[in-house]
Structure 1
Amino acid sequence: MTALQMPADAAEARAVQDALRARVVLDEPGPPPGTGLVTGVDVAYDDERDVVAAAAVVLDAATLEVVAEATAVGRVTFPYVPGLLAFREIPTVLAALESLPGDPGLVVCDGYGRAHPRRFGLASHLGVLTGLPVIGVAKNPFTFTCEPPGPRRGDQSPLLDAGEEVGRAVRTRDGTKPVYVSVGHRTGLDNAVAHTLRLARDFRQPETTRRADALCRRALREATA
């Protein structure tokens, strides 16, 4: 695992992102959908108390049944700056992942990978630090242009930034808003989309995100009660 560098300010944080970006692996397809394990990670904040709670929920990729889960609670040590959210989240996310009893397999972040101004969002950052295959599946658009995908499940359209495809908008359910999929580390974009569709079996969001979101919110409530 690469050592976590915590910057002193936003300028230093951007420099860290630029330095680590060169370590992102983009030429591996990643694990096949429906095989092995897949782990969702998410965080919840109590901004008044500067507390952050992270959750990691491991699912069997074939059945989507929960195999293991872990939480971690920490202090927010970096200010809110768009494009630099990873520095607020990663220390606690790493702690949750390290508390799991085994290899998490593919990791799915509620955030971005290459669909980021410096091509190094949370999913890429987490992948480089852990060496794990990671993808980002975000609920809202961020820093790209995109035509709406078709209305049916599986329809998709490219996310473009300066003419480069940095991800895809993917319709996971008929007639609902799309999610925004991008590669983090050691996984191809087509494979990331295939994983997302398989994980979003019953809801718009992947089951990984839904379960990790619920668990980190519960951990935050318990930590701040």
Structure 2
Amino acid sequence: MTSNVPENQTHKRLLLVGATGLVGKEVMRQALSNPQVVSVVAPVRRQLTVYPSLNAHPKLHAPIVDFDQLSGTEDWWEVDAVICTLGTTMRKAASREAFFTVDHDYPLAVAHFARLHGTPTYALNSAVGADPDSRFFYNRTKGKLEHALRGVGFESLTFVRPGLIGGQRDEFRFGERVAAALLKISGPILPRRWRINPAEKIARALLDAALRAPQGAHIVDSAELA
């Protein structure tokens, strides 16, 4: 498939999925303030109330969708790059099947629809340790998604692999709070890949990958995000 984006295009139309999460909100903030970004499509399951001041932003379009019944017919699929920050927790998902649907099936479906419309670039917020053969279900899910995305045919594909993500979530996660507190204390003496990865740095790496669109497949590991 050939790209529908001119090689000399510097202004980008972005599709952001997962816009209501910790990293997704930071991607949204950075993208809307970036002069290279001319529009952001952020499909969501319900009205985008987390951005009351942005609902009328001239760059933003936030269509309400059912991710279980995505359709590729809407014209908003025609973008220059996808940034995917979709993800849930086992506690919220309540089962491995539901978790796999959100963290694997939805991002992959978005990738296929976007590519069908000629989108050449995809940047994924993955995870450190992503491996399709991992004995850990979480890492195995992320690894299977990365493996599947390699087969979709994007000209530029970037996997950003953070470790523990730093930032203020809307929901309370006890385990993350404890781990973050411990890492904050010991951070200066730890190897960079084990340190906390701030959400703003992860978002910056995703947005940079979407805007620069380096040819081929690339990995940004946690050490680069510390």
Q: TM-score range by the shorter chain?
A: 0.3 to 0.5
Structure with the larger strand share: 1
TM-score by length of 2: 0.34
Structure with the larger helix share: 2
